[in-house]
Amino acid sequence: MGHDHGAHPHHHGSSTRAFALVTLINLAYTALEAGYGFYTNSLALLSDALHNLGDVLGLALAWAAASLARRPPSGRHTYGWRRATLLSPLANAILLMVFSGALGWEAVRRFGAPPAIPATPVIVVATLGILVNLGAAWLVKDGHAHDLNKRGAFLHLVADAAVSLAAVVAGVGIALFGWAWLDPATALLIGIVIAIGTYGLLRDSFNAAMDAVPPDIDQAAVAAFLAGQPGVSAVHHLHIWPLGAGEIALTAHLVRPEEQDHDAFIDATIRALEQRFGINHATLQIERGGPCQHDLHDAAPHHSH
């Protein structure tokens, strides 16, 4: 049996610093926005501050997950705490869905009697919110396409920037034309946009938490690749799942009856799996005949693998 666990550098340290900085920046902005909301008696600013506070909690989850992922494996947690980077985006997506629903509900409630809102403070503070959130999103953008934890934080920040932009538009419309209905209308639109954008994150993070094959990997192609290796007559018990951000695990049993140097074969196959499919934690078991006796007992539940 051969494996390759830990020969690859990980970059959780830079992720942790980025999440820490982004969380603190957003916490400071939330406090500023809430202060202005109380000072001007603006329900719009107070509502957005409450929304941002929820986002800070989501970012704190991402920060905590990146920190936990740095913990080394132990006798009880043999893979370490890498899965925290898969559970955090799931919680983040749920939070986003809850807040988008709350935002839509409040918008519908306000259509009947839109409250008077002081436009100038809303425009100024919301413009600052756009800059803060886009700047924070830039800090975590590296690798967010392949890191669900960063992707959740990135979407959170972009959604916040969109909410702030909607507040600016509503403030300008109220200031110029007295259109009080713009406030709930833009809020409702943004809530729908956030929900649509979050669905993909919710689906992917749920699948990752349930050990689904990563969406960018074709399991059939991996099986065909392994079956085509020299001397391999059969492949079974093939499992592929995400371990954490940027880390993909694989286990497989390969039937290889020939009396050859299996160690060299395993090393070469593991390197090829990483180069071709990005699978960087592979464990391969060589069998010299048919499926081993243990596998025969498990044949029914595993026949599809």
Return the pLDDT at 305: 38
Give the whole-angstrom CA distance, residue 159 versus residue 153. 10
Return the pLDDT at 143: 57
List, in sequence order, the alpha helices (H) in 114-228.
119-139, 148-177, 182-209, 219-227
- What would the CATH number be for the domain defined by 10-209? 1.20.1510.10
Domain boundaries, given as residue ranges, for the chain: 10-209, 219-302
pTM value is 0.63
Buried b (16+ CB within 10 A) or exposed e, 62-95: bbebbbbbeeeeeeeeeebbbbbbbbbbbbbbbb
For domain 219-302, give the fold: Alpha-Beta Plaits (3.30.70)
Q: Which residues of the chain have pLDDT under 50?
A: 5-12, 293-305
Q: What is the dihedral of CA 104, 108, 113, 115, to 10 degrees?
A: 10
